Structure 1
């Protein structure tokens, strides 16, 4: 692991990069013997340093003191390893090795001072779940939660005195609904055995949530297969809806996707689906639940118009941008454009 280590001495100030291994036991070895470059009165020279701390630190996760003694602070004057981000800030990715909270606070305070002197803006700390004992000390030093995943918490702090321009956490969840018709003008519908529609007897399109890193068109194919066993091909996005405060206070985007069925033998997913069938479209649209809700009526009308050939949706066109070589999709109306 590489670390930027700053020694403060009089009259010299040393800043260099070294390789180090931390051992948190009765004798703490901070780093191996190195040859740093020393700047003394405008001249550069070489010296050798080998430093060991003989202090004992408690390794209990939450009981460790966040404040070191004055002598320890004088001995431990380093900064956390970080990389610059693209917006004038720094990112610290903590490795999941045990660290005493007091040592961490000393490092963090020295690091914040260093980054302020550099004019850095946002400071991000990716804290693995194994270092949960360091979250509270970081919060007490001015950090707050940006987001959390199953294996880490992302902490952040804005350093300048001006208003923060840090982006908020992901604000939307993305879902799909799949519209499939066979040659008999029958639509694929399901009844769910749980959730808002569980036990209601309502027939609805197969729906689901887009996974992280998954394209909308691929999610629609996957959800149809998982819920009904039907293989399908994505054709178009017919419409989409945005709503707010729907899932853990986040907004929601829902895309109605037209699919072409490639198989027709239904095999419902037992865990989530109570029943599935091919239903005459007009029977689906006439359901009281569909007619009662304006949004569902609009969707039914769009699908009917598409079925009758009077509507064109948005097809998925694979693209690559100049700033990313990864393939993505641009969804557009291809009816009036020559690609």
Structure 2
């Protein structure tokens, strides 16, 4: 069965997944329709895929597809996903699940009860670098502590400015939801259930998104220290997930570089390590194959709605929401 893919929301994330789908095996998954209310989005789609229609409504995209990718702003995620489920379609949602945590909880309970075919686009579920970390952990012994750090020259990042209308705002945006959530998902998968112990968040005057956060958590039995700030680096962004264990230390740096601490005290990358811009197409290819499997009712390991909800609960706790 070839899975027909529809996309709702054609910003940077919608464009990235579309480009990956256009390069994917068309016998497995094939893009069939897009919707976005922006005329600029329609023009970009015409340049990227001239034969792919920009339909006039989300409902039209849902009718045309087997699997719906929801890359619109968070406040619209649940509406589009619920419509897809009602039509018998699968859905891959961007995170966070919703702008309102209470609504997200109700949605997840209902989706699970109805056995909806749904997942959330945390790409680390398909990352070769994360697979390398998992392999290294087999001989590292018990985990001792974990540090998560993210720094940004500005927020939103330069390539996100077209979406600054919501990404820069406290209600739906901010780097804790957009970036640190990925590393919290990774932590949940690697170490166990997350429990927030302490938190602080700093906001600018007005309705702007956070400029600094700190938190202490438990992941299973492992203590996690998390920090993030805007203005902490002259690079566009810098991030690190570092695990200390009985017999060594490993880290994921700048999204895609799996590194292990060597005897000389220096971190060394895996032999096949790639920078994020080169690894991203591989990761998205994996996500698309798993979305096809989800749609066909086959086993896959995409992030579940429940995992995404647990991450969102921690994120909103850090932000004090």
Q: Looking at both structures, which has the greater relative contact order when contacts are Cα pairs under 8 Å and sequence separation is at least 6? A: 2
TM above 0.5, one fold? no
TM-score (norm 2): 0.24
TM-score (norm 1): 0.23
Larger radius of gyration between Structure 1 and Structure 2: 1
- Of Structure 1 and Structure 2, the greater strand share is in 1
